[in-house]
A and B are shown apart, each in its own frame.
Chain A
Amino acid sequence: MEKQTPDTEIGPEVFETLKYIIDPEIGINIVDLGLVYTVSLEGDNLHVQLTLTTPGCPMSGTIVMATEQILLKRFPDLNAKVELVWTPMWTTDMISEEGMQQLNSMS
Chain B
Amino acid sequence: MSTASTSNSPGKWVVLPHYAFAAVAFLVLSILLLFSTDAFSGHYFHPKLLTLTHVAVLGWATMIIFGALYQLLPVVLDCKLYSEKLAVYTFILLGTGTILLAYSFWYFQLGWSMHAAACALVISFVLFNINVIQTARKAPKWTIEADFIVTSAIWLLVTGIVGLLMAVNFTLPFLPLDHVHYLKLHAHIGMAGWFLLLIIGVGAKLIPMFLLAHPEDTRKLSWAYNLINAGLVLFILDHMVLHTKLLPLYGGLVVVGVLLFLLYLRDAKNTMQRKDIDLGMQQTFVALVLLLLPLALLFVVSTDLGLPQRLLSSIYLVYGISVFLGFVSALILGQTFKTLPFIVWMHAYENHVGRYKTPLPKDMYSHKLLRWQNIFYLVGFVVFVAGVLLREQQVILAGAISFSITAILYTANVFQMLLHKAHNLKPLTYGKANA
Do A26 and B355 touch across chains, with their CB atoms under 8 A apart? no
> Distance in Å from the Cβ of B386 to the closest Cβ of chain A?
35
Q: CA A104 – CA B71 in complex, angstroms?
A: 30
Residue from B7, B343, B360 in contact with A60 in the complex, judged by beta carbons closer than 8 Å: B7
Q: A29-B434, A58-B74, A107-B276 are in contact. Are A86 and B353 (CB under 8 A)?
A: no
The answer on a CB contact under 8 Å between A24 and B361 is yes
Q: Quick check: is B55 within 8 A (CB to CB) of the other chain?
A: no
- Give chain B residues whose Cβ lies under 8 Å from the Cβ of A17: 430, 433
Q: Is the CB of B2 within 8 A of A65?
A: no
Q: Is A66 an interface residue (CB 8 A)?
A: yes
Task: Scan A80-107; emit 1 where CB is below 8 A from any B CB, else 0.
Answer: 0001111110011001001010011011
Residue of B nearest to A73 (CB): B355
Chain B nearest CB, measured from A15 CB (Å): 9
Please give me the residue from chain A that is nearest to B345 by CB atom.
A24
| Cβ-defined contact, A74 with B273, below 8 A | no
Q: Does A55 contact B (CB under 8 A)?
A: yes
In the complex, are the beta carbons of A86 and B2 less than 8 A apart? yes
Q: Which residues of A contact B179 (CB under 8 A)?
A: none
> Would you give the shortest CB distance from B19 to chain A, in whole angstroms?
15
Distance of A73 from chain B, by nearest CB (Å): 6
Q: How far is the CA of A95 from the CA of B214 in the complex (A)?
A: 14
Bound-complex Cα distance A17 to B275 (A): 27
Do A25 and B361 have beta carbons less than 8 Å apart? yes
- Asked if A24 contacts B76 (CB within 8 A), the reply is no
Question: A92 vs B214: C-alpha distance in the bound complex, in angstroms?
Answer: 8
Which of A32, A54, A58 is the one whose CB lies under 8 Å from B342? A58
The docked-state distance in angstroms from the alpha carbon of A37 to that of B8 is: 22
Q: How far is the CA of A15 from the CA of B21 in the complex (A)?
A: 43
Q: How far is the CA of A26 from the CA of B76 in the complex (A)?
A: 19
Tell me whether A65 and B350 are in contact in the complex, defined as CB-CB below 8 angstroms, given that A17-B430, A54-B209 are known contacts: yes
Residues of B close to A61: CB separation below 8 A: 6-7, 9, 350
Do residues B1 and A65 form an inter-chain contact, with CB atoms below 8 A? no
Contact with A along B353-397 (1 / 0, CB 8 A): 111000011100000000000000000000000000000000000
Count of interface residues, chain A, beta-carbon cutoff 8 Å: 49
Taking the complex as formed, is B351 at the interface, i.e. its CB lies under 8 A from any CB of chain A? yes
Does any Cβ of A come within 8 Å of B144's Cβ? Answer: no
Contacts A24-B361, A62-B7, A73-B354; A56 near B77 (Cβ below 8 A): yes
Q: Indicate if A4 sits at the interface (CB-CB under 8 A).
A: no
Q: Are B75 and A57 in contact (CB under 8 A)?
A: yes
CB distance from A25 to the nearest CB of B (A): 7
CB neighbors of A among B69-110 (8 A): 71-72, 74-79
Confirm or deny: A79 has a beta carbon within 8 angstroms of a beta carbon on chain B. Answer: no
Tell whether, in the assembled complex, residue B342 and residue A84 are in contact, meaning their CB atoms are under 8 Å apart. no
Question: For the complex, is B112 an interface residue (Cβ under 8 Å from A)?
Answer: no
- Does residue B4 face the partner (Cβ distance < 8 Å to A)? yes
CA distance A32 to B214 in the complex (A): 18
Which residues does chain A contribute within 8 Å of B349, judged by CB atoms? 62
Interface residues of A (CB under 8 A from B): 16-17, 19-22, 24-27, 29, 32, 37, 49, 53-70, 73-74, 83-88, 91-92, 95, 98, 100, 103-104, 106-107
Q: Name 27 A/B residue pairs within 8 A (Cβ), A-sorted.
A: A16-B433, A20-B430, A21-B353, A21-B354, A29-B433, A37-B1, A54-B75, A54-B205, A55-B78, A56-B77, A58-B9, A58-B75, A58-B342, A58-B343, A59-B7, A59-B342, A60-B8, A61-B6, A69-B354, A69-B355, A73-B428, A84-B3, A84-B4, A87-B2, A103-B275, A106-B275, A106-B276
Further 14 A-B residue pairs, CB within 8 A, beyond A54-B75, A61-B7: A19-B433, A20-B428, A24-B342, A58-B74, A65-B6, A66-B353, A66-B354, A73-B428, A74-B430, A85-B3, A86-B2, A103-B276, A106-B276, A107-B275
Which B residues are within 8 Å of any A CB, using their own CB? 1-9, 71-72, 74-79, 205, 209-210, 212-214, 273-276, 342-343, 345-346, 349-351, 353-355, 360-362, 428, 430, 432-434
Minimum-distance CB pairs A-B, first 9: A61-B7, A19-B433, A107-B275, A66-B354, A66-B353, A70-B354, A69-B354, A56-B78, A106-B276
